[in-house]
Amino acid sequence: MDAAGLPGCGVAELVRRIQAGDRSAESDLIGRYSAAVLVIIRKSMREHGNREDIYQEVFRLAIEKIRAGEVREPERLSGFVLSLTRNLISRSYRRTVGDAHATPAEPSLPADQLERLLRQERASIARRILSELGSSRDREVLHRYYLDEEDKETICAELGLHELHLNQVLCRARGRYRDLYNRFVERTKREVER
């Protein structure tokens, strides 16, 4: 696999440290996989609902199973954590479907404050990116690609664009998003530290 490695020690070593009772290794495990697990949970569960419970449960179970020596191939720790995540998502989904048959559906829980804050910030960044784009055609490219989920070929054909130009628009927008979002994260960190 051609992967840019995440910081931290090798995964087999991480498993060994957790089994040896090293508490800092448990934090390292969470630090290493936290963001990826969150992405997968968000992708699979569009409603905010019990995402957080699943996230917590993934790491509780992972640490418990590692301590109990249930990870037989420590070098495949990533696959192990991924399987746990998928199983818990499936279980939650089955439970939700079962509950929906048994009782009237409950309204989904409101997004928490962090979710709302992130949503506002993303909207603010998107507005800025849209305002910075050179033409209304480029704005349309972003809308049609990301929101209407049209194929690149269709967008290019209908707007008379070369795919290279479309890719440049998308690439610039993502780069700008990254830049503005990182600034937001830095700003927030400074506020939290104060």
Partner 1 sequence: MDHRYIEEHDIADRYWMGKLSSEEQQAFELHIMDCSTCLARVEESEGLREGLRSVRKAGRAPIPTAAWRIAAIAACLGLSIAGTASYVLRRQLVEARQEAAVERQQLSNRVAPKPELAAASLYRFEIVRGEQTPNRVFVPSSPESIVISLRLEPAPGATRYQVVLLAASGATVARKSDLALDAGGHLVVTFPSTLLVPGDYTLRVESLSSSGQASEIATYPFRALPRP
Tokens of 145: 């690609």
Closest separation in Å from C-beta 63 to partner 1: 6
φ, ψ for residue 6 (rounded to 5)? -80, 155
As a 3-state breakdown, the chain gives helix, strand, coil percent values, each rounded to 5, of 75, 0, 25
* Smaller CB separation from partner 1, 153 or 158: 153
* Smaller CB separation from partner 1, 43 or 162: 43
Closest separation in Å from C-beta 194 to partner 1: 10
Nearest to 37 by CA among 20, 21, 60, 17: 60
Site residues (vs partner 1, CB under 8 A):
1-7, 23, 26-27, 30-31, 33-36, 38-40, 42-43, 52-53, 55-57, 59-60, 63, 78-79, 81-82, 86, 112-114, 117, 119-120, 122-132, 139, 142-143, 145-147, 149, 152, 170, 173-174, 177-178, 181, 188, 191-192
* Smaller CB separation from partner 1, 1 or 164: 1
DSSP state of 76: G
CA 34 to chain centre: 9
